[in-house]
Copies of this chain bind each other. A is one copy, B any other.
Protein backbone atom coordinates (compact mmCIF):
# COMPACT_ATOMS: atom_id res chain seq x y z
CA UNK A 1 0.00 0.00 0.00
CA UNK A 2 1.17 3.42 -0.80
CA UNK A 3 -0.28 5.06 2.22
CA UNK A 4 1.81 7.90 3.48
CA UNK A 5 2.86 7.31 7.02
CA UNK A 6 4.46 10.04 8.98
CA UNK A 7 7.89 9.19 10.22
CA UNK A 8 8.34 9.77 13.90
CA UNK A 9 11.86 11.06 13.69
CA UNK A 10 11.88 11.75 17.37
CA UNK A 11 9.30 14.48 17.17
CA UNK A 12 5.62 13.71 17.48
CA UNK A 13 4.17 15.41 14.49
CA UNK A 14 2.24 18.53 15.19
CA UNK A 15 1.30 18.74 11.58
CA UNK A 16 -2.31 17.75 11.56
CA UNK A 17 -2.63 18.05 7.83
CA UNK A 18 -0.64 14.89 7.38
CA UNK A 19 -3.27 12.26 6.99
CA UNK A 20 -5.18 14.21 4.47
CA UNK A 21 -5.41 11.65 1.73
CA UNK A 22 -4.05 12.98 -1.51
CA UNK A 23 -5.33 10.79 -4.29
CA UNK A 24 -2.88 9.74 -6.89
CA UNK A 25 -4.64 10.14 -10.18
CA UNK A 26 -6.32 13.41 -9.59
CA UNK A 27 -7.19 16.49 -11.54
CA UNK A 28 -6.98 15.05 -15.03
CA UNK A 29 -3.50 16.06 -16.06
CA UNK A 30 -2.29 15.27 -19.54
CA UNK A 31 0.92 13.87 -20.85
CA UNK A 32 1.41 17.07 -22.80
CA UNK A 33 1.63 18.89 -19.46
CA UNK A 34 4.53 16.70 -18.46
CA UNK A 35 6.28 17.23 -21.77
CA UNK A 36 5.77 20.93 -21.47
CA UNK A 37 7.30 20.84 -18.02
CA UNK A 38 10.33 18.85 -19.08
CA UNK A 39 11.21 20.43 -22.39
CA UNK A 40 12.07 24.09 -22.45
CA UNK A 41 11.94 23.86 -26.21
CA UNK A 42 8.38 23.25 -27.10
CA UNK A 43 7.94 20.27 -29.38
CA UNK A 44 4.93 21.03 -31.51
CA UNK A 45 2.69 18.75 -33.45
CA UNK A 46 2.49 16.18 -30.73
CA UNK A 47 -0.57 17.50 -29.03
CA UNK A 48 -2.88 14.87 -30.42
CA UNK A 49 -0.54 12.02 -29.69
CA UNK A 50 0.18 12.97 -26.13
CA UNK A 51 -3.14 14.26 -25.03
CA UNK A 52 -3.78 11.33 -22.79
CA UNK A 53 -4.29 11.38 -19.04
CA UNK A 54 -1.29 11.00 -16.76
CA UNK A 55 -0.83 10.42 -13.09
CA UNK A 56 -0.29 13.42 -10.91
CA UNK A 57 -0.34 14.07 -7.23
CA UNK A 58 -0.27 16.93 -4.79
CA UNK A 59 1.61 16.96 -1.52
CA UNK A 60 1.66 19.31 1.40
CA UNK A 61 4.76 20.39 3.22
CA UNK A 62 6.14 17.44 5.09
CA UNK A 63 4.26 14.83 3.08
CA UNK A 64 6.21 11.79 1.99
CA UNK A 65 6.22 10.96 -1.71
CA UNK A 66 7.87 7.60 -1.13
CA UNK A 67 9.62 5.91 1.72
CA UNK A 68 13.02 4.33 1.84
CA UNK A 69 12.56 0.64 1.12
CA UNK A 70 9.17 1.06 -0.53
CA UNK A 71 8.45 -0.73 -3.76
CA UNK A 72 9.31 1.28 -6.83
CA UNK A 73 5.93 1.68 -8.48
CA UNK A 74 6.68 4.84 -10.39
CA UNK A 75 9.18 7.57 -11.01
CA UNK A 76 8.21 11.16 -10.51
CA UNK A 77 8.83 14.57 -11.98
CA UNK A 78 8.51 17.62 -9.81
CA UNK A 79 5.84 19.87 -11.22
CA UNK A 80 5.98 22.51 -8.55
CA UNK A 81 7.55 22.92 -5.15
CA UNK A 82 10.61 21.05 -3.98
CA UNK A 83 11.64 17.88 -2.19
CA UNK A 84 14.46 16.52 -0.11
CA UNK A 85 15.72 13.00 -0.54
CA UNK A 86 17.36 11.27 2.37
CA UNK A 87 18.31 7.96 3.96
CA UNK A 88 17.44 7.21 7.55
CA UNK A 89 19.98 5.35 9.63
CA UNK A 90 18.95 2.89 12.30
CA UNK A 91 19.49 5.45 15.03
CA UNK A 92 17.28 7.96 13.24
CA UNK A 93 19.96 10.10 11.72
CA UNK A 94 18.82 11.50 8.40
CA UNK A 95 21.43 11.71 5.68
CA UNK A 96 20.16 14.20 3.14
CA UNK A 97 21.16 13.22 -0.38
CA UNK A 98 19.80 16.13 -2.28
CA UNK A 99 17.20 18.76 -2.86
CA UNK A 100 15.03 18.29 -5.91
CA UNK A 101 13.19 21.07 -7.65
CA UNK A 102 10.96 21.78 -10.61
CA UNK A 103 11.30 19.58 -13.69
CA UNK A 104 13.73 17.27 -11.91
CA UNK A 105 13.29 13.55 -11.52
CA UNK A 106 12.65 11.59 -8.36
CA UNK A 107 12.97 7.89 -7.62
CA UNK A 108 14.92 6.82 -10.66
CA UNK A 109 17.59 5.13 -8.55
CA UNK A 110 14.97 2.65 -7.40
CA UNK A 111 14.66 0.96 -10.77
CA UNK A 112 17.73 -1.23 -10.39
CA UNK A 113 16.51 -2.89 -7.21
CA UNK A 114 12.77 -2.23 -7.41
CA UNK A 115 13.10 -0.63 -3.99
CA UNK A 116 13.62 3.00 -3.20
CA UNK A 117 17.04 3.43 -1.58
CA UNK A 118 15.91 6.71 -0.04
CA UNK A 119 12.87 8.68 0.97
CA UNK A 120 11.44 11.81 -0.61
CA UNK A 121 9.60 14.43 1.41
CA UNK A 122 8.07 17.65 0.19
CA UNK A 123 9.76 20.73 1.62
CA UNK A 124 6.76 22.85 0.70
CA UNK A 125 3.39 22.36 -0.92
CA UNK A 126 4.29 20.58 -4.12
CA UNK A 127 2.94 18.54 -6.97
CA UNK A 128 4.45 15.83 -9.11
CA UNK A 129 3.78 13.86 -12.24
CA UNK A 130 4.16 10.13 -11.96
CA UNK A 131 5.06 7.56 -14.58
CA UNK A 132 4.56 3.91 -13.63
CA UNK A 133 7.69 1.91 -14.17
CA UNK A 134 5.88 -0.67 -16.23
CA UNK A 135 4.84 2.05 -18.67
CA UNK A 136 8.22 3.69 -18.76
CA UNK A 137 9.85 1.93 -21.68
CA UNK A 138 6.68 1.85 -23.75
CA UNK A 139 6.11 5.54 -23.19
CA UNK A 140 9.65 6.35 -24.12
CA UNK A 141 9.31 4.41 -27.33
CA UNK A 142 5.99 5.96 -28.23
CA UNK A 143 6.98 9.52 -27.37
CA UNK A 144 10.60 10.28 -28.26
CA UNK A 145 10.29 13.72 -26.74
CA UNK A 146 9.63 12.13 -23.38
CA UNK A 147 12.47 9.70 -23.81
CA UNK A 148 14.89 12.49 -24.54
CA UNK A 149 13.68 14.58 -21.66
CA UNK A 150 14.00 11.63 -19.32
CA UNK A 151 17.58 11.04 -20.35
CA UNK A 152 18.34 14.68 -19.75
CA UNK A 153 16.70 14.73 -16.35
CA UNK A 154 18.44 11.59 -15.18
CA UNK A 155 21.75 12.80 -16.48
CA UNK A 156 21.28 16.02 -14.56
CA UNK A 157 20.45 14.10 -11.42
CA UNK A 158 23.58 12.02 -11.83
CA UNK A 159 25.63 15.17 -12.25
CA UNK A 160 24.07 16.65 -9.14
CA UNK A 161 25.14 13.70 -7.09
CA UNK A 162 28.60 14.07 -8.49
CA UNK A 163 28.58 17.65 -7.30
CA UNK A 164 27.51 16.43 -3.91
CA UNK A 165 30.73 14.47 -3.62
CA UNK A 166 32.68 17.58 -4.45
CA UNK A 167 30.86 19.47 -1.75
CA UNK A 168 31.39 16.87 0.92
CA UNK A 169 34.99 16.35 -0.07
CA UNK A 170 36.06 19.80 1.02
CA UNK A 171 38.07 19.85 4.21
CA UNK A 172 36.98 23.06 5.80
CA UNK A 173 33.34 23.37 6.72
CA UNK A 174 33.11 26.92 5.39
CA UNK A 175 34.40 25.74 2.04
CA UNK A 176 31.69 23.10 1.90
CA UNK A 177 29.14 25.76 2.61
CA UNK A 178 30.62 28.05 -0.02
CA UNK A 179 30.55 25.31 -2.63
CA UNK A 180 27.00 24.51 -1.75
CA UNK A 181 26.00 28.13 -2.20
CA UNK A 182 27.77 28.35 -5.53
CA UNK A 183 26.01 25.24 -6.74
CA UNK A 184 22.69 26.48 -5.53
CA UNK A 185 23.29 29.78 -7.23
CA UNK A 186 24.01 27.95 -10.47
CA UNK A 187 20.84 25.93 -10.16
CA UNK A 188 18.82 29.04 -9.49
CA UNK A 189 20.28 30.67 -12.57
CA UNK A 190 19.45 27.61 -14.64
CA UNK A 191 15.93 27.91 -13.37
CA UNK A 192 15.74 31.47 -14.54
CA UNK A 193 15.78 32.99 -11.08
CA UNK A 194 18.27 35.30 -9.50
CA UNK A 195 21.63 33.66 -8.81
CA UNK A 196 22.60 36.30 -6.27
CA UNK A 197 19.58 36.33 -4.06
CA UNK A 198 17.51 33.35 -3.08
CA UNK A 199 15.81 31.58 -0.23
CA UNK A 200 17.10 28.29 1.05
CA UNK A 201 13.99 26.39 2.02
CA UNK A 202 15.74 23.68 3.98
CA UNK A 203 16.53 23.96 7.66
CA UNK A 204 20.04 24.35 8.99
CA UNK A 205 19.95 20.78 10.14
CA UNK A 206 19.04 19.48 6.70
CA UNK A 207 21.70 21.63 5.15
CA UNK A 208 24.22 20.33 7.64
CA UNK A 209 23.31 16.74 6.87
CA UNK A 210 23.71 17.44 3.20
CA UNK A 211 27.12 18.98 3.75
CA UNK A 212 28.24 16.33 6.20
CA UNK A 213 28.77 18.63 9.16
CA UNK A 214 27.01 19.51 12.39
CA UNK A 215 24.24 22.04 12.15
CA UNK A 216 25.99 24.39 14.51
CA UNK A 217 28.91 24.41 12.13
CA UNK A 218 26.63 25.60 9.37
CA UNK A 219 25.65 28.59 11.46
CA UNK A 220 29.26 29.37 12.18
CA UNK A 221 30.11 28.94 8.54
CA UNK A 222 27.50 31.44 7.49
CA UNK A 223 28.91 33.86 10.00
CA UNK A 224 32.42 33.47 8.63
CA UNK A 225 31.25 34.00 5.08
CA UNK A 226 29.20 37.00 6.14
CA UNK A 227 32.10 38.53 8.06
CA UNK A 228 34.21 38.19 4.93
CA UNK A 229 31.55 40.16 3.06
CA UNK A 230 31.07 37.33 0.62
CA UNK A 231 27.41 36.83 1.45
CA UNK A 232 24.65 38.39 3.46
CA UNK A 233 22.45 36.06 5.42
CA UNK A 234 19.13 36.75 7.02
CA UNK A 235 17.53 33.62 8.33
CA UNK A 236 17.05 31.50 5.23
CA UNK A 237 17.48 34.32 2.79
CA UNK A 238 20.90 34.45 1.23
CA UNK A 239 22.40 37.20 -0.86
CA UNK A 240 25.72 36.67 -2.53
CA UNK A 241 27.67 39.90 -2.33
CA UNK A 242 30.92 38.79 -3.96
CA UNK A 243 30.34 35.95 -6.38
CA UNK A 244 33.92 35.82 -7.64
CA UNK A 245 35.26 35.86 -4.13
CA UNK A 246 32.90 33.11 -3.11
CA UNK A 247 33.89 30.96 -6.04
CA UNK A 248 37.57 31.56 -5.42
CA UNK A 249 37.10 30.66 -1.80
CA UNK A 250 35.17 27.53 -2.65
CA UNK A 251 38.10 26.26 -4.68
CA UNK A 252 40.18 25.61 -1.60
CA UNK A 253 40.92 21.91 -1.51
CA UNK A 254 42.91 19.57 0.63
CA UNK A 255 46.62 19.73 0.66
CA UNK A 256 47.40 20.48 -2.96
CA UNK A 257 49.42 17.86 -4.75
CA UNK A 258 51.60 20.60 -6.14
CA UNK A 259 53.03 22.78 -3.42
CA UNK A 260 54.20 25.39 -5.89
CA UNK A 261 50.71 26.00 -7.11
CA UNK A 262 49.76 27.15 -3.65
CA UNK A 263 52.77 29.43 -3.52
CA UNK A 264 51.74 31.33 -6.62
CA UNK A 265 49.56 33.85 -4.94
CA UNK A 266 47.39 34.48 -7.96
CA UNK A 267 44.12 35.75 -6.61
CA UNK A 268 44.12 34.96 -2.96
CA UNK A 269 41.88 37.73 -1.83
CA UNK A 270 40.32 35.22 0.46
CA UNK A 271 43.47 35.14 2.52
CA UNK A 272 41.91 37.97 4.43
CA UNK A 273 39.02 35.71 5.17
CA UNK A 274 41.01 33.40 7.33
CA UNK A 275 42.98 36.11 9.05
CA UNK A 276 39.86 37.96 10.06
CA UNK A 277 38.77 35.19 12.35
CA UNK A 278 39.99 34.85 15.90
CA UNK A 279 42.64 32.34 14.95
CA UNK A 280 44.86 32.53 11.93
CA UNK A 281 44.71 29.22 10.18
CA UNK A 282 47.99 27.69 9.09
CA UNK A 283 50.13 30.78 9.04
CA UNK A 284 49.57 32.38 5.70
CA UNK A 285 52.44 33.33 3.42
CA UNK A 286 53.56 36.78 4.47
Chain A residues near B (Cβ < 8 Å) = 87, 89-95, 97, 108-113, 117-118, 136-137, 140-141, 144, 147-148, 151-159, 161-166, 168-169, 209, 212, 214, 251, 253-258, 261-262
Contact = CB atoms under 8 A, between A and B. Distances in A.
Contacts of A136: 151
Given A141-B144, A168-B169, A159 B256 contact: no
Contacts of A253: 89, 91, 93, 95
19 contacts: A87-B162, A90-B261, A91-B251, A91-B253, A92-B258, A93-B253, A108-B154, A108-B155, A111-B152, A112-B153, A112-B155, A118-B162, A140-B141, A154-B154, A154-B158, A161-B165, A164-B165, A212-B212, A214-B254
Given A110-B155, A117-B159, A141-B141, A95 B147 contact: no
- Kindly report how many copies of this chain are found in the complex they form together: 2
Given A209-B169, A214-B254, A155 B91 contact: no
Contact of A254 (B93, B111, B112): B93
Contacts of A90: 251, 261
A161 B131 CA distance: 23
Contact of A91 (B91, B148, B258): B258
A109 B258 contact: no
A153 B168 CA distance: 25
A95 B212 contact: no
Given A89-B251, A90-B251, A109-B155, 19 more contacts: A89-B253, A91-B253, A91-B257, A91-B258, A91-B261, A93-B255, A93-B256, A95-B165, A95-B169, A110-B155, A111-B151, A113-B159, A117-B163, A137-B144, A141-B141, A158-B161, A161-B162, A165-B168, A212-B212
